[in-house]
Structure 1
């Protein structure tokens, strides 16, 4: 019968359905872009294609709740993400520009994974106010609110802030609450890169939760972490604050990536006031002896709060002043320039490097015990916080290649921090539920056929800080909307991904 015909049957896999339930052996039938049947020993005579997945694990395609993909149109088949088993990527903007107007941009996307988009505060502030350290005028705030509404009506799933970065960290809480309020729609979400992830972490978490309290929006904290040598072990207090908020009826969730270093701009090592305005304004400030003395005193504390405090805590990714040091550490730079490897020497070097254009870097800063506590928490999703990568170019953080397989290999198989079923839930149904991504995140009839098939005994991340350009292994097949984007371990080049817009009603 025509109704029994399938485009694809996947046979003999161990199915982990994304709910946290124990895995079971079974078959999955797909027609068009949907899963139509999950059962044991499905007849394959009516299937156009059959995949024998005996000995492999089948799960919902992984949902990435935070990555940097604004320029995905230039990387339509992002192999570093696909080879992690990722089928849907959320571009929760922090410091990058938001495509504008968003609707036509989404209409024109033709890429391999599904993508999800947000309205971005940093982009709005740069567009309307520039880099000035001041509150918006009423007219400017109204224009930013209008940009928020436009993006939401074009399909953004929520409002995203990156309050640690220039110029967003010039915004007072009332500005954030007003603009997040302008995003309020059915199933909209407030996304936060916290204002501080080090010594003021708890206050920053409280600020994000208060946005949810004032606006009624669910709150999702991106890449939750506790940075700095003095803040190791703070994870328990942070999780207690999140639990307390949820106990009052708020909806607060977060994602986390499994590495002890983060990656961002050199600006996080500076107080925001010194970076306001233009590069010439910065140069003028650091040339004033009294201002420079104040800056150095503040930076000494910031460096301890943002890193492990040593010259090896900073590895350059891209460095404007001298490209030879890409991939090297701050200690390497100090030795090459015959500078003292002291706290004072490090701060002077950082001030000079910022004057020459700054850098992007990898910052050793977190403790495994905090990372593990975050990963285990029931409201945690797994993320990479990764970038679109041109293979072999630059010195990216290894998370861009390996975050999800690292969970499956290191934290599940080797350390048994999570069961495989719990880990898959945190990569699938957990983010789908928290971010209101409909009909994805479970292996279930009627759901979209976003599916990953992997070898649970072999799935592994290979990228390291010293050698980052190494793809993960173990992903045998990957389907997006019923189309194979990885087949027998090879990327197919297909681009079946869809721009997923906010769903206005619960389904």
Structure 2
């Protein structure tokens, strides 16, 4: 049953109004079926993704597309799914997950069981497959995917981990790599400016590469340079790059890290609203957790990491240089975390401590439970190669303010892995069901119709996708069918390897990849390419 609303002033009317606008309503898409169909989804509560109220209707599918939506269709079909008592919605669109290794995990169960049918790989800090075109042409996976040209990869490819501006020749080579990826079908330029080596890039370098990516349908998607003390400046930089390159801007996993900065969401949203009011296309995504997950490098000054692990270890071994690293890291820790030793939980890279905290590590190694000792330990661990961690660092109030904004879509920022391997953030298993179950159903954050839009039509519009995100005649039959009363995340910070529940059927391009709650062997996903100037685009989505 719905609980107490958590968003102050967030009414049903405001919630639905926030996701309407340029999206067509479903009423114009109702048709009577004619002829035979491949599949009929019978008797569900259809929420079409526009924010419009649900209706009881059948959905007929032919050749991977929606052929009809209407109550009580008199249609012949080779297969029927009984959706009585269930929600029938567009397949959820994931605007940011880490799927570079999806060929190794072609059925990413942790994401599929969240209801996700399309995944954007923004390549913020990971390597871009190269050359991109043959990789995409060979891809055979369950969900649809789309890919960016990776700035971090291009910079490493040309400059390594150098902490300097590129020469004119190096910039030209990076521009060539970006143009090549765009010609191969990348949907935009992706940057991860909080990470090495992207953190060494100045704004003029990013503008030059964004201009190399600029063409119809492209966008600039970014992990901001800073998500705490300098968030305002980081947002302004992203907007400046978008304006200079004439590209829409999409900010990945917008958040405010560090307890010193909590409460700034309204001011940050005002900057985005000002840009939108001036005609700039700006969007962002949010995941529904107050902890993030990333590399240990964010806890250390960028200059100290130049050149890679060996050079960092040499700096950490030098007394004066180490003292400087420690002093700056002590300032960074409360900016990047909740400020406590237990604000950091290890994932990978510290043997025997997966799921345990920095405080646990100090106790086990006979060190005092102080922040100074914690910073010393972080420097030592980085000198041995670093680690990945989960950082409790955000406030729920800021997160909910971001989610309520009309430009916000939902994301997981999730990873791919074998079930039981490593110690992932729970978002990799539970972001979408957590939003729909915990926040929408149990805490009444917003009506379900508005929430579904944030997982479907809103990200589709932000990413420039055609024929997806709304249940309508002629659109791709990407459909999530779930139990409104049962959808829930089960993954926790202490016990992460637990699949979400409540998604009963999942169709990708009209083919069931989950049927009666069971994962199937089908690999119907399409590669959605922005355009293909140089290739035949085998395995492409022709509407992309």
TM-score tier by shorter-chain length is over 0.9
Paired position in structure 2 for 1:255: 285
Contact 1:436–1:503 under 8 Å retained in 2: no
Contact 2:429/2:497 (<8 A) preserved: yes
* 1:25 to 2:53 alignment: no
Q: CA deviation at 1:2?
A: 11
Find the counterpart in structure 2 of residue 244 from structure 1. Answer: 274
Secondary structure, aligned partner of 1:371: helix
Question: Structure 2 stretches of 5 or more lacking a match?
Answer: 1-31, 533-541
Q: Which residue of 2 aligns with 1:82?
A: 112
Tell me if structure 1 keeps the 8 A contact 2:313–2:384: no
Residue 184, structure 1, aligned to residue 233, structure 2: no
CA distance in 1: counterparts of 2:173 and 2:446, whole angstroms: 46
User: In the alignment, which residue of structure 2 is the partner of 1:430?
Assistant: 458
Cα distance, 1:3 vs. partner? 5.2
Which residue of structure 2 aligns with residue 304 of structure 1? Answer: 334
- Residue number among 259, 263, 269 corresponding to 2:299 in the alignment: 269
Aligned to 1:284: 314
- Distance in structure 2 (CA, Å) of the matches to 1:14 and 1:357: 51
TM-score by length of 1: 0.98
**Which deviates more, 82-91 or 2-11?**
2-11
Are 1:4 and 2:26 an aligned pair? no
Residue 190 of structure 1: SS of its match in structure 2? strand
Output the CA distance in 1 between the equivalents of 2:73 and 2:394. 48
Post-superposition shift, 1:283?
2.1
Write the distance in 2 (CA, Å) between the matches of 1:20 and 1:328: 42
Contact 1:389–1:400 under 8 Å retained in 2: no
Kept in 1, the 8 Å contact 2:33–2:68? The answer is no
Aligned to 1:110: 140
Q: Tell me which of 181, 201, 222 is aligned to 1:151.
A: 181
Structure 1, unaligned stretches of length 5 or more?
none
Distance in 2, matches of 1:358 and 1:280, equals 11
Q: CA deviation at 1:51?
A: 1.2
Does the CA-based 8 Å contact 2:253-2:286 persist in structure 1?
yes
SS at match of 2:145: strand
Q: Per-residue deviation at 1:506? A: 9.7
> Hey, what's the Cα distance between the residues in 2 that align with 1:288 and 1:75?
43
User: For residues 76-124 of structure 1, what are the alpha-carbon distances to aligned partners after superposition, in whole Å with 9 as ceiling and x for unaligned?
Assistant: 0010000000000000011100001111111000000000000000001
Count of aligned positions: 504
Residues 93 and 161 of structure 1 are in contact (CA less than 8 Å); yes or no, is this contact kept in structure 2?
Answer: yes
| Residues 353-432 of structure 1 mapped to structure 2, 5 A cutoff | 353-432=381-460
- Aligned counterpart for 2:74 among listed residues 43, 49, 58: 43
Partner residue, 1:62? 92
State TM-score, norm by structure 2: 0.91
Alignment of 1:235 onto 2:290: no
CA distance in 2, matches of 1:395, 1:262: 13
Tell me the distance in 1 between the aligned counterparts of 2:346 and 2:218: 37
Match among 485, 496, 514 for residue 457 of structure 1 = 485
Measured in 2, the distance between the counterparts of 1:340 and 1:218 equals: 49
1:328 and 2:356 matched: yes
Report how far residue 281 of structure 1 moved: 1.8
**Paired residue secondary structure (1:497):** coil
Question: What residue number does 1:168 align with?
Answer: 198
CA distance in 2, matches of 1:419, 1:478: 22
Whether contact under 8 Å (1:438, 1:503) holds in the other structure is no
Tell me the secondary structure at the aligned position of residue 417 of structure 1.
coil
Does 2:507 align with 1:479? yes
For residue 490 of structure 1, what is the aligned residue in structure 2?
A: 518
Say which of 496, 502, 511 aligns to 1:468. Answer: 496
